[in-house]
Amino acid sequence: MTAETQDVKSKTNPLYDPKVRAIIAQIVVVVLFVGFVLYIIDNTQANLERNGVSAGFDFMGLTAGFMPTGPNFNMTNFNMNTSTHGDVFILGLVNTILISVIGIVLATIVGFIMGVLRLSSNVLISFVATCYIEGTRNIPLLLQILVWYFGVILLLPHVKQSFDIFGVFFLNSRYLAFPSVSFNDTAGYALVALIIAGLGMFLYYCFTLYRGQGSSTSASADTDEDEGDKLWVLWILIGFAISLPAASIIRPIFGDLSHLLLMNPVTAVLYGVVFVKVVGLVTPRGTTGKPVFRALTGFLIGLPMAGFFAEFGMAVYLALNAAVAAAAGIYAMIQWAQSRLDETGKPLPVFWMCLGLVIGVPLVVLIVTGFPVNFDVPELKGFNYRGGAQIPASMMGLLAALTFYTGAFIAENVRAGIQAVSHGQTEAAHALGIRPSKTMRLVIIPQAMRVIVPPVTSQYLNLTKNSSLAIAIGYPDLVNVFTGISLNQTGKALEIIAMTMLVYLTISLLISLFMNWYNTKVALVER
Amino acid sequence: MTKGYVKTELHPDLPPPSSESGKIKWLRDNLFNNWYNSIATILIFYLAWLSLPPIIDWAIISPVWEATSNKDCPRDGGACWGMIDKRIGQFMYGFYEPGERWRPDLALILFIVAMAPILFDKLPGRDKAALFLIFIYPAIGIVLIHGPIEIVGMSGGGGLVFWGVLFAAAAGYGFWSAADTNPGRATLSFAVAGIVAFLAFLSWGFGMPVMETSSYGGLLLTLILAGVSIAVALPLGILLALGRRADSMPIVQMLCIGFIEIVRAVPLISVLFMAQFMLPLFLPEGVNFDNVVRALVGMSFFAAAYMAEVIRGGLQAIPKGQFEAADSLGLNYYLAMRLIVLPQALKIVIPGIVSTFIGLFKDTTLVSIIGLSDILLVGKQSVTDSKWLGLEHEAYFFVALVYFVFCFGMSRYSMYLEVKLHTGHKR
């Protein structure tokens, strides 16, 4: 029998072997693909030569010679006479990130409220919420942007008849003026205090973890794994936190060279290697390995970012440091409170503790140093409001449209998420004697988040991509100023479109990395 | 033993108290079930009282239905629907030759008639309608809307001879192979004959005048963009999804994943810019597409990437046993996919496909940014005309209404389908 099968096998034409076929098919595909790419490259070269256009990124250093943004909305201090196309790119990138972040925050708020309202027991409320959701979801975003801009905001009163809101906000058809906050130099101490408090909390938590790990050598494999799980986010944060001071040390020493040292992946890898060595020395055995590489990831992401933000001056830089420190502190506090809850059964008021850290600590320092904060309230002088800060009409229009459009989609995700939690969960919680408010917060929402977060993250990504529609109403985002105006001026279609796509690709990659991390974190552990 | 005060029969059931039945109970349960809901109800009624009457008055009661310019519309009066009425041709067809507008109309009617049996399975002739839509309608649609596409000139009968000879050769070879009982070769020959007939029909096109694509606009352009890109995206998306799932071919998998993820990560507007500025660079000298075709290429690729992910969802939902059953029947990859896997997978994802299509339909508005006059741009430009200045609200309201009717209708249809297709695990 076996001999016969072997005989048959030897006679079979290798062409019928699926493996051979797969290889042949792939060779064909590769040849076709490479041929296609070569054909395109050849055509492109011929076309570029014919048009007398040279390829390359030299244009990034050329003076742009146009003003992509208004004087009241110029966060990167763009200067028409000296700024280059590279600066146009930075300006567009900053504006894209700005509108995306604000839009994401607002859309989340609108979406959660509307999603919950749609499930209201009051039919009128749920009807209104349904009307909002169906109305905005079924009308193209571009149309909504135009309606908000041309149909609402441009029809607001002129500057002289601005709506006066509490005497500090002034809304008219050109902008929303609002008071700006400026800090004296001594206000930096508040941020420094926050950095110290946050990092201190974090390091204390690391210390308790480290001690716990050292003592529980005989712990079961299960808890070890658990600890390792907790540690890995921590390592990314450590890496990130260290990269910021690292950048601040490198910057003053090397001056202009710091560009090369910070923004360069090769040197970043070098730092990373040194860092891994150091971490390897201080971490206990068994935890080096994966966590170190996670720390490295954090460091490698953090360093170029730190270098990038250092460009905007000390205040921004300090604020970023403070934000990272606060995040680390909050993380440590949540984890610490959780482990205390596990040990003693006593809950800690984590929310208030975090609030105390993020707002209380800087506030106390501010008061101690004599409140070195100035509010600059806008005032009508001549034909315009002077002082304070302004949101241009285009940004208001885009923001309103993005918020309400994405909010409708988020509302649907929220509704689906809440409905996905079976009613038995509520009943079980009630049977255990948990109060309704706590049932919602501790039983329903955590389970609903599992369903809500992945689609909502992709809505965030959509919002970021949709912010490119700014071009329709002239908000100076990346696509508008760089892919639009710079491309028209320089004619470097290939380079500019490639760079634009790369930016969005990076953002989307970061968001999907987060999503994967979250999914693995909250995934149901099944049998 | 009967006593006067003891009833001998049951008391008839009383109706529930008025507060626990009928409309009052409904009101109590749904509008006034606790204090904050009561406040909310009253507040909403109050806001509706404030806002709805002016809107209804503006839109329905006191608008101007006939006007020749904005002077006929009082500024503080109702809507100026006269503007829409005067420019309805542009809203629907753009600058398409007015005398030839029956052609897209006819194409649309044909499409609806052919689509009806596919959308509603109570109507007969579903298979025939599908075959007609896939193989014949594209030629008719192109010829009706665009006019003939000259592949080999028809003038002077030279083309007729060329196509005739080609068709006769292919068909003849097919018959000969069929007589020779070689079904594979016969099918192939008939397919070639079919393609020849298709191309011949395209270049003949009833000899109708050619409508340049630059004249397309309004709803016509919107429908062409959405329709063509979904028609291209569906097969392309199936191929990409299958490629992404082909574990035995890592290189193919990599290429598919790369394409899908890159396209999905970037905004459509940058894909359109790419089609606009980079496509001409990629093509050899002399070959050039017009704007509409460039936009079509960009949108099709964009839609294909999204479609691929939707279809991959369907493929993943098919149990492994189905693939193994197909293998055990000795079906090759192509047959297994065509007969076993894809019919099930596509059925699951029809709602997903419809919602992708809704998204695509809304996204067609982006072509107005690269200068194609779709219905949104027509609306935007119609109020820059000095005759109709200041009528933004009317124009946007009308365009929004058109989109809403289409998108809302499609989403309702998709919900109906979801209920109808939910046959496998009904409780």
CA angle B157, B162, B168 (to 5 degrees): 120
pLDDT at A226 over 60: no
Which CATH number is associated with domain B215-427?
Answer: 1.10.3720.10
Q: Does residue A430 sit within a domain?
A: yes
Which B-chain residues 355-384 have CB contacts (< 8 A) with chain A? 358, 362-366, 368-369, 376, 380
Q: Does residue A261 sit within a domain?
A: yes
pLDDT, tens only, B163-178: 788 888 888 888 887 7
Q: Does B248 contact A at CB distance below 8 Å?
A: yes
pLDDT at B200: 79
Residue closest to A455 by CA, chosen among A388, A497, A511, A509:
A511
How confident is residue A217, by pLDDT bands cut at 50, 70 and 90? very low
When divided into structural domains, chain A yields a total of: 3
Q: Does residue A189 sit within a domain?
A: yes
| Structure tokens belonging to residue A67 | 């003003």
When CB atoms are compared, the residue of B41, B282, B366 closest to A142 is B366
Q: Kindly determine whether residue B408 and residue A468, on different chains, have CB atoms separated by under 8 Å.
A: no
Q: Does B62 contact A at CB distance below 8 Å?
A: no
Please tell me whether residues A430 and A455 are part of one structural domain. yes
Please tell me whether residues A346 and A217 are part of one structural domain. yes
Which A-chain residues 444-463 have CB contacts (< 8 A) with chain B? 461
Q: Is B136 exposed, middle or buried (0-12, 13-18, 19+ CB in 10 A)?
A: middle
CATH assignment of the domain containing A116: 1.10.3720.10
Please tell me whether residues A428 and A452 are part of one structural domain. yes
Please tell me whether residues A320 and A437 are part of one structural domain. no
Please tell me whether residues A215 and A290 are part of one structural domain. yes
The arithmetic mean of pLDDT across residues A8-21, rounded, is 71
Chain A interface test: which of B394, B404, B408, B410 (most A C-beta within 10 Å): B404
Q: Does A486 contact B at CB distance below 8 Å?
A: no
Instruction: Name, of A21-30, A309-318, B101-110, B302-311, the range with top average pLDDT.
Output: B302-311
Q: Does residue A273 sit within a domain?
A: yes
- Chain B residues whose beta carbon lies within 8 Å of the beta carbon of residue A461: 265
- Chain B residues whose beta carbon lies within 8 Å of the beta carbon of residue A468: 267, 269-270
Could you tell me where in chain B the CATH 1.10.3720.10 domains are found?
Answer: 215-427
Q: Kindly determine whether residue A140 and residue B30, on different chains, have CB atoms separated by under 8 Å.
A: no
pLDDT, tens only, B175-231: 887 777 777 777 888 888 888 888 878 777 777 888 888 888 889 999 999 999 999
- Chain B residues whose beta carbon lies within 8 Å of the beta carbon of residue A465: 266-268
Q: Kindly determine whether residue B262 and residue A19, on different chains, have CB atoms separated by under 8 Å.
A: no
Cross-strand pairs, A391: A176
Q: Does A25 contact B at CB distance below 8 Å?
A: yes
When CB atoms are compared, the residue of A29, A30, A123 closest to B31 is A123
Please tell me whether residues A304 and A357 are part of one structural domain. yes
- Chain B residues whose beta carbon lies within 8 Å of the beta carbon of residue A128: 44
Chain B interface test: which of A132, A143, A173, A465 (most B C-beta within 10 Å): A143
Please tell me whether residues A396 and A358 are part of one structural domain. no
pLDDT at A214: 47
pLDDT at A2: 47
Q: Kindly determine whether residue B396 and residue A509, on different chains, have CB atoms separated by under 8 Å.
A: no
Q: Does B155 contact A at CB distance below 8 Å?
A: no
Q: Does residue A342 sit within a domain?
A: yes
- Note down the domain range covering A44: 2-51
Please tell me whether residues A357 and A227 are part of one structural domain. yes
Please tell me whether residues A202 and A340 are part of one structural domain. yes
The arithmetic mean of pLDDT across residues A496-524, rounded, is 84
pLDDT, tens only, B382-395: 888 888 887 888 88
| DSSP state letters, A11-59 | HS-GGG-HHHHHHHHHHHHHHHHHHHHHHHHHHHHHHHHHHT---SSGG
Q: pTM for the complete prediction?
A: 0.81
Please tell me whether residues A396 and A477 are part of one structural domain. yes
Residue closest to A481 by CA, chosen among A491, A471, A473:
A471
B61/A108: higher pLDDT: A108
- Chain B residues whose beta carbon lies within 8 Å of the beta carbon of residue A46: 284-285
When CB atoms are compared, the residue of B249, B369, B396 closest to A147 is B396
What is the spatial distance between Cα B427 and Cα B424, in angstroms, rounded to a whole number? 9
Contacts of A294 (CB under 8 A, 6+ apart): A232, A235, A236, A239
pLDDT at A409: 95
pLDDT at A225 over 50: no
Please tell me whether residues A37 and A120 are part of one structural domain. no
| Structure tokens belonging to residue B22 | 């009928």
What is the spatial distance between Cα A283 and Cα A227, in angstroms, rounded to a whole number? 13
| DSSP state letters, B65-97 | ---SSGGGS-TTSS--HHHHHHTHHHHHHBT--
pLDDT, tens only, B281-307: 888 877 777 889 899 999 999 999 999
Please tell me what DSSP assigns to residue B19: G
pLDDT at A251: 61
